[in-house]
Each structure stands twice: as C-alpha cells, then as structure tokens.
A and B are shown apart, each in its own frame.
Chain A
Amino acid sequence: MSRVRRILVSASLLLAITATAQDTTPAAVSFRISGFVLDSTSGQPVAGAQVVIAPVVERGSIKRALSAADGAFTFDGLSKGKYSLGAEHRGYPGQGYDQHEGYATAIAVGPGLDSEHIVFRLRPAGGIRGTVTSEDNEPIGGATVRLFGSGIANGEATTRELMTVTTDDRGLYSFAHLADHEYYIAVSGRPWYANVYPYLAITYPDPLEAARMKEERSRVDRVYPLTFYPGTFSADQARPIRVPPGEKVTADIVLQSARNIHVRISAPGTPGSAKESENLVISDMHRKISFPPRVMFYKNVFGTLTNIESAMTSTADDGVYEFSGMPAGHYTMTLHRGEGLRPEGGGITQEVDLEDGVELTVGGGTSSASVSGVLSIDGQVSRERAIVRLVGKGIPMAFAAEVKDGRFEFVQSVPPGTYEVGLAGNANDQYIKIVTATGARISGRALQVSSGAAIKLAITAATGMGRVDGVALDHGKPLAGAMIVLVPADIAHNATLVRRDQSDSDGTFTLPQVVPGTYRVIAIQNGWKLPWSDPKVLNPYLGKATTYSITGGNKLEVKVEVQTAK
C-alpha cells in the first residue's frame, strides 16, 4: 500500500511520498531495493536519474541514488517494510513508481519478497507551445493562454483548467511538463492598440468632431474573444491536442478581434445609489470608504464557469457602473456587494446576453444563499477547530467555514447548486454521521442550494473511523498496481465516503479513515481510466464483491480477487 500525497519537484530532485499506516519492522537482516530506470517510450536506460525511496511510515527519512549509465539503481541496508519509490530527471517530471493520479505502487521488502528486479518506466514529459497571432499576422503579446486537460479525476471524466500563461513579446507561449493526456488550448486578450485613451475624456462642443472621434475610437476598441484551438469560439468545437510522452506539440492560434462592448450595470446598494448606506464601511478613523460592487463575467467552458477578464471602466455617482473588456455574447454574471474582496454583502448570479450599450439592472437572477449551522461531535458541542466545506459540481471555487464553539457561518454566500458537505481542517479523525438542513434539501451529504435560501445545517459528527487492510489477488497470487475502491452504499449521494488505493508490490493495500458503514471492496486491473463516480460504471464489478460492515476504530482485513477493467 502506498498513497502518494505529494510530489515535490525542485530544481534538482524529486521528493515523494507518504503513506498511511504500515509497520516498518526493524530486522537484523537487511534488504535491498534495486532495478533499472528506463524511458517508458523508448525502453532505453535513463542515466543520472534521481531515484528516491522513503519508508511509507516515515516520510522524512529519505534515501537517494543516481541511476548508472545502464539505468541501474540500488538501495542497500534496508529494513523490512514498505518504501515509496520515485524518480526524476531533466525532461522527466517527478513521478512515483507506476503512478496513477495520486497513487503509486510502494515496494515491499522482506523475506520472500522480490524487490530487486524493479523496472521503473520513467514517463518523459511532453509540452505544447505555439504562437498567437492576429488576423493581420502580427504576434500578440500579453494574451492569456489557458490550458485545459481531459482525463479521469476522482472517478469522473472531466476537462478542467490546469494552468494559465501569458504570451511573450513574440506571441509565444509554452506549457511544459505535461503528461500523456488530451489537452485543449484557449486564448483571449486585448489588442495592443486597444487602450489608447486611458486618461483623457474630453467632451467636444463640435458635434462633427465628437462623432468622428467616437467612430475612430470604435476602430481600436476591440477585444480578442476566448478562442479555442484551432480557431473556434465554441468549446464544443475545440480540437483536442494529444501530447505523446516526450514530445513538444505545436499549436498556433490566430485570433480574430471583436468589438469591445460597454455595458452599464446598476446595482442597488452600491455607492451612489439610494441604498448606498448598506454598502459603506469605515476602514479606519480617517477616511470613509465605500466600495463598488464586484462584478464577474463567466463563460461555461467544459462544464465549468471560467472567468472572462473584464474591467470596471467607469464609475458613477448614481450607482451605475460601466464594465468592458469582453465581446458580445452570453455570460453568467455574478455580483457581490461588500468590502473589496470580501463580498460579505451577498451575491447575485444572473444569466445575461450582453451587447454594446446595454443597461442592466441587477435582479431577476438567482441570489446566493446564506449558509450557517451547528456541529456536534459525539453528542457534544464541538470545541475543536474544524472546517466545514461545501464542494460544488461545476462551481469554480469551494466554500469553507470555520467552526467555533460548535457554530459556523459561511462568510461568502453560496450560489445555487448541488454541494457535497464535508469536514476538513483538524477534523481528520472526525466524520459526518448525519446532516440535516432547514431551507434546503439534503440527501446523504449532497446539499441542494436554491436561490436566496437561508440554510441552517445541523451536522452530527463522530470520532473514530475504521480501516481496511487487504491484498489484491489474481488467481490467488498478489497483484501490484491494481486500483482498489471502497464503495459505499448509495455512492451517488456519498461520493466523499469512497476510499481508494493502489496495490503495492506484494499486492497489499490500506484504505484509511473509513467512515463506519456498509461497503464493498473491489480491485480492478487497468481500472485507472474508469469514470467510477458513475454508479453504472461500477455496477458490473460489484456483483462479485463481498459486503462488509465497518465500525469505528476497527481494522478489517480482506482479500479481494482482481477483476479486469471492462
């Protein structure tokens, strides 16, 4: 059993790997881990790779070695136990042995265990680079380039934004250290000539001159809409980019500029409006400061709301604000009132079709909900510091509230949607037994937040989770590298109860911090690409699985016959 929690890649070295609970029993006899580091693509030896091992129960006790010219590496003098194994080399990002997502196969050493014929197939990193140019064939510097990656994450097939870079003065961008996946590229920005009137705003008495000025300004008041490779405004029509291991793929994009729209938004309760007093704060004893609303515009990209850069270009004393920096189109708009980046005044979400000159009065959309509640642990008011989290599907941010004296309140209001309720912070040994809610529907831990609701949660938690230790067997023989899944009843509403692992070199695994309940354990060979969060996907494997009842504080030992991914 080994669970990779963290891969730290520094300028010179990989550092891995931690695990849950597995004894490393000292013994008089010492053991060895040895093998070869090979390029996963070519099969050629990788010389000079940094190879590290660490006991899974003692993360800081790290040993290092450099692979030889033939890729060979050796660690001598080891005690019986399990060791996380990782490697790194220039052009090969830090990775655990046979790593999948955040899991890797640990090496078990001891009597009768073969730990000396390891073949570490190091996956070389790929990359995407390209040039962003305008319709006039000029390089576009300063454009925002977003990288989206497709794959299975937590059992769900998703395409999500991974990182953002900015093009240089030549219009070049580069994404390095990419794994063998499918990717999408999207670019947006503003032309270099777009912001030529930042300071002066002169009203001319001559209508001819004023009209000419307006017309000429419109020629340079342009934006580059969010454009997906190879040149479409629709994410559905974006072309995936496959990055083979070790290869640099070129993806050049030509952007077509569009008119920059200016929209005026009136928001009750903002400075200058009739309800301005709702929004005023006194930040210090000298100055009275009131804050404008924080308005964000989003596009739905691959099922997730993606922020489209915009700017408040004009403020007014009448509570009406002008925003610009985006092309016409459909947006999800959110508005928060409050002090700067702390939108304590509540939020509003509204679907809007924007075009130049449109005036919007915020209202009629959905309002974020206020969420508060109480947390009891083992029937007592929680005195420990804990964090209650709400994680929503397709919502770009998670929400968190700190528990104090058993009570919590989310500072940020929560947009409508479905959220999974969870505990975090110092509450590792605590688990949620029951959640009840007023002002919202809840099934299991899935909370349905509706517009403008005032939701009170009552979370009953307990301490003492269980643990499952086991071995994955293939026709009676231990099998390394299988995906182990602990499946709760009603997985659709209890996804946070799922535990996973990857079987180690001796076929063993550990599933820690199991919330008491009824589960089945399955082991799937080559199952890492299964979207297991969909109950239908796991159903074919559950028929052969045994049902276990797991109680708090107990350890269950199981044997699981490996099934092959269908």
Chain B
Amino acid sequence: MSIAHTERSRDHSNLIQCLITVALALLFVPLLSAQTNAGTGSQIPRIRATGRVVNSLTGEAISRALVMIEGRAQRVAFTDSEGNFVFDDLWSVPLVFHARKPGFLEDNQTVITPHAGESITLKLNPSALIVGQVATDDGEPIESASIELLGQRVVDGRKQWTRMGNASTDEDGRFRLPNLRPGKYLISVGPFSNQALGQEATGFPTTYYPNAPDRNSATPVQIGYGQQVEANFSLTAVPVYTVMGTVVGQLDHSLGVTIRDSSGQNVGLGAAFNRTTGQFRIMGVPRGTYTLQVDSYSPSEDSLTGRVTITVTASQSGIVIPLHPTIKIPVEVRREDVRVSAPPEQKVDQGIVITTGQFGRRQFTDPGVRIRAVPTGSDGQENAAWGEPDQQGRIFLRRMAPGSYRILATPVADYYVHSVQSGGVNLLSEPLVISESGTVQPIEVVLRNDTAKIKGTVRGVTSSGALIAIPSGNDTQSPAFGNYGEDGHCYFPPLAPGTYKVYAFDHGTEEIEYANPEALEEYDSKSAQVTLSPNQTGEVTLDVIKVTQ
C-alpha cells in the first residue's frame, strides 16, 4: 500500500470541474477569433438557440431559472413561465451551458454545440433538505444549539466525513439544512452546557444523530434528489466539568487553546485563555479523555506548540501545558532536465510570483513544486502542513510536531516527481517519522522532465467527462487526472513513465474513490492499460463509464 505518493494538481471540486469544462470550450476561442477577424465575417454561423429548463425528477418546467453560457460567449437569460429560454446570434460552436435556480443543485454544466432549430434541454436536479428539532428528553426545545452536518467527500481518493454545513436552532429548537446533494450525512449537535454560577453543572456532549456519542456509532441519514428528511434529537443532560490550568513558555498573542477528543477532532468548547498569564479555563467538559492543544497561529518562524492528554471525571485545575518550538524541515528540490530537447516554454522557472487579492499583494518565489505533510490517519486536509517557500526559493515544512506523516508532492508544469527522500527513507512509500526529540533529516525532492503522454479516444460520449490514470504495480506514483471533450478526444497533462490503468467517466471524479482498489473494481472492465516509457506517448481507446445519478 502506498503511503506517500505524488499528486497532479487537481482539486476535486465543482469549481475545478467547471473550469476544466470551460477551458475545453475556450480551446475554440483563438480559432473563432481568427475567423472573425478575417474581414468578411465569421464562417461559423450565428444561430438562435432555444431550449427549456426542467426538473430532472418530475420533468416540470422551471420558470425564472438563470441559464448561463460560458466559453466562446458569456451570456445569460432567464427562463419564462414555461421554462423556455432563447439566445439570439449565438455561434454554433461548443459552449458551456448551465442553469441555476434556488432549490436546485448547480451540477449541470455541460458542453453543447447549439444548432438552429434544435431545442436544448437542461435538467436541474432538485436539492435535498434535512430538518429537525433539538429538545431535552422531557420535551423542552433547545434554542441556539449548534448543528453540524458532515458529508462524504473523496479526499486523496478515499471517502471521508467532511464538514458540509452548519445551522443553529431557532427559539422552537428547529433547524434546517437546505441545498444538499444526494448522499449520506452525519448530523451532530452540541456540545453546550447550561452551566450557571452556583448551579451544579450539566450539559450536553456532542451527540450524533440519532443518539450516538461519536461518528463511528452514528447512523448516517441517506437522502436523494429533492427529498426532505426529518432528524430530531432528544438530549439527556449529563454532568459537565471545568478544566483549568496554565500554558507555560513564551506566550504571545497568537496562541490559542483547543480541546480535542481521542480522534483529534476539536470538541468545540471554547477556552477562555489569558495570553498574558497563560491561564486557561474550559467549561462544560463531559467525562472523557481529551487532548488539550496549544498552537501558535503566528506566521513567524518561531511558532510554538504544546499538548497534554487528560482524563476528565471531575473538575480539575493546575494542568500545565509546556510550550515547545515547532519543527522546521528544509525541503531541497532538484530538477533533472533529462529530456533531450525540452521546449523552452515548458521549462519550469523559479520566477517571482506576485498575487493580488482581497487580502493584499503577496510576493514570493515559485519553488516549482508544492509539498505537504499530512499526519498519518488524518483526512489529509485539516491538519496538513504545507511547504512554504522563502524569497530565495527554499522550501520549508514549518510548524511540524513529532509524529508520522505522509508526504505529498505536486510538481508544476512539465515535470513529475521522481523521488522524495529523507535520510535514506523513500517517502514515496514510507512515512516521514519525526521523533519526540524533533530530529529529522532534510527532505530531498527530485523532479524529472522525461515525462510521458497519453492520447486516446473515448467511445460512446454525449458530452465531456473526466479521465483517471491509476498507476499499476507502482505505488510510488499517484493517479493522474485528465478529461475528454464532447468529441471524445482525451487530454492528460504530462505524467511519470510507468504502467497505468485508464478510466473514462461521464462526470466529474469528485465521488470516485480512485485510491480504493475495491471501489475501482466495478469499473475495471471498461478500463484500458497503457505502459509509458520516458518521452513517449501511449494511446488508449476507452468506453465511457456512466456514474451520473
């Protein structure tokens, strides 16, 4: 089983999927621009495009939906009372169509070539809704209770529970979680206490629907398109306690104290923390074993951390959390330009990057690779440490603590990750282990540019879709992602030499557990295997795998 692997730059989100689709459509822009500028007018006909937006479940027309076109043209129109829309003077070229309407999911973008006299049908999937009420076991509604919604999301190729939304109960204890996609969800409420001065403290620990103390024993709520599910909580108060102590060390304004359960999840109980004296107090803690964790959120290099595990059976004070400097690991990146005649424009350049955004303008040196360290057993996102470049292009993994980590490296442009090592340990197949003493060797990343390519065709397509290439018999490389257009032509970025199984899906791969061999088994009959040598191009012919619900 691969512990570390490289990853192609792909974020499994609707946004990226949309952008890829749009990018496909934009491939046509230069062609059309040239034709338009030819002088006598475009050779591409302009047509009147008409269509209708309907509910995918009922077939009913959807009025006042917004229909959008992106790609060669950016156009918008609302549907009329019959769900009809019209676009005049539209080029008959591949364009990205999608529609929006509150109460429906925004998962319908598709590339369509409009033709005169042909009506386009856009189907909107109605979203689902979870409603419920939170009350005490004697029926008293609980107001302002925090509700958290966890949904299944594929992270690094495997399904994991991820926070998808939240809500708060109203004065009648009721809550709503609208605009949901079909799938399984966990719902939790709490924790909170009704601890008042002079009163014996009781409270409500985090409770998962229907009445479970943790995720593992919770019952997921299954919903489909357009469904409404009710999930009510009846909570029993339990004794809660106050935990007090002192953070010892060099205190600064960026320190924060959190209390985490045995799985590392933040329990969600606020900590009163005096950053001058280091004293902290957490109220409303039910019985159990917890880790008190102190972290510095300062961007400074001298970040501090501390953690202590406690078992709570009564209120306790005098807990001491010593602070220690976090660990900083240098990452050395070496590029091996082994390709005989690499085109100049494909060469990775360590240039100065300036980004300007809402929070200001940032200037840094592009190191040519993105690297992150994910605690072993973690979900890969929340607690990951990202390599940060300095202005000389040197990368460091900072704010690290003792433990075991998967190292994930993402090359940019026309390179692949050939090796990742630390002190002789191959981090593409073994974890990086930082001992309690904090001793760790630098990480060396070798990038090579003798990449290979995949070309091919997908049969039976009606619209664009997604491709995955899974390394076969080689656990040191990660899957590669591509896509195909409405014409079935495949596109993959350059990838590492090796043998791959290639799959073509009719939809985005957000919900494909590509890192789970068992999950991929059902698609194997439609996959194709290709072996790629350095600097070579392999060809595949694929059948589309329909996963759209």
Contacts and interface: CB of A to CB of B under 8 A. Distances in A.
Given A136-B64, A213-B73, A292-B360, A15 B102 contact: no
Interface of A: 8, 10-13, 15, 54, 59-62, 64, 90, 127, 136, 138-139, 141, 168-169, 174, 176-177, 192-193, 196-197, 199-200, 202, 204-206, 208-209, 212-213, 216-217, 219-220, 271-272, 283-292, 312, 315, 317, 340
A289 B356 contact: no
Contacts of B391: 286-288
B36 A213 contact: no
Given A61-B198, A169-B178, A284-B300, A312 B358 contact: yes
B363 A288 contact: yes
Interface string B355-391: 0111111111000000000000000000000001111
Chief secondary structure at chain A's binding surface = loop
B386 to A, nearest CB: 13
B33 A271 contact: no
A291 B361 CA distance: 7
B: contact size bracket: 35 or more
A280 to B, nearest CB: 9
Contacts of A15: 196-199
B33 A168 contact: no
A174 B66 contact: no
Interface string B286-313: 0000000000000111000000000000
A289 B76 contact: no
Nearest to A63: B198
B227 interface: no
A54 B449 CA distance: 77
Contact of A212 (B37, B89, B301, B357): B89
B539 interface: no
Given A60-B197, A288-B363, A200 B74 contact: yes
Nearest to A64: B199
B143 interface: yes
Given A200-B22, A286-B389, A219 B197 contact: no
A90 B140 CA distance: 9
Contact of B178 (A64, A168, A290, A292): A168
Interface string B22-52: 1000100100010011000000000000000
A335 to B, nearest CB: 15
A219 B100 CA distance: 15
Given A60-B198, A138-B64, A205 B36 contact: yes
Contacts of A217: 74, 76
B194 A13 contact: yes
A60 B76 CA distance: 63
Contact of A271 (B74, B196, B356): B356
Contact of A286 (B36, B37, B75, B390): B390
11 contacts: A12-B140, A12-B194, A138-B64, A138-B102, A206-B36, A209-B73, A212-B89, A213-B73, A284-B301, A287-B364, A315-B356
Contacts of A287: 299, 362-364, 391
Given A169-B176, A271-B360, A62 B198 contact: yes
Contact of A174 (B171, B198, B358): B171
Given A15-B197, A196-B100, A289-B360, 11 more contacts: A11-B143, A12-B140, A61-B198, A168-B176, A168-B178, A193-B76, A205-B36, A212-B75, A283-B299, A285-B301, A291-B360
Contacts of A59: 197
Interface string B64-86: 10101010011111100000000
Contacts of B389: 286
A289 B364 CA distance: 10
A290 B359 CA distance: 9
A283 B76 CA distance: 43
A15 B201 CA distance: 14
Nearest to A142: B102
Interface in B521-542: none
A205 B73 CA distance: 11
A224 B66 CA distance: 18
B142 interface: yes
The 6 closest A-B pairs by CB, nearest first: A62-B198, A176-B171, A169-B178, A284-B299, A291-B360, A11-B194
Contacts of A212: 73, 75, 89
B15 interface: yes
B164 interface: no
Contacts of A197: 74
Given A169-B102, A192-B100, A205-B37, A286 B388 contact: yes
Candidate in A12, A127, A219, A285 with the most chain B CB atoms within 10 angstroms: A12
Most buried by B among A168, A206, A209, A286: A286
A141 B74 contact: no
Contacts of B360: 271, 289-292, 340
Contacts of B75: 212-213, 216
Nearest to A292: B360
B95 to A, nearest CB: 12
A67 to B, nearest CB: 16
A219 B70 CA distance: 16
Interface in B118-147: 129, 140-143
A340 B359 contact: yes
Given A141-B102, A271-B360, A288-B363, A196 B76 contact: yes
B177 to A, nearest CB: 10
B460 to A, nearest CB: 30
A204 B28 CA distance: 13
A139 B102 CA distance: 9
Contact of B192 (A11, A283, A292): A11
Given A11-B192, A12-B194, A196-B68, A127 B171 contact: yes
B170 interface: yes
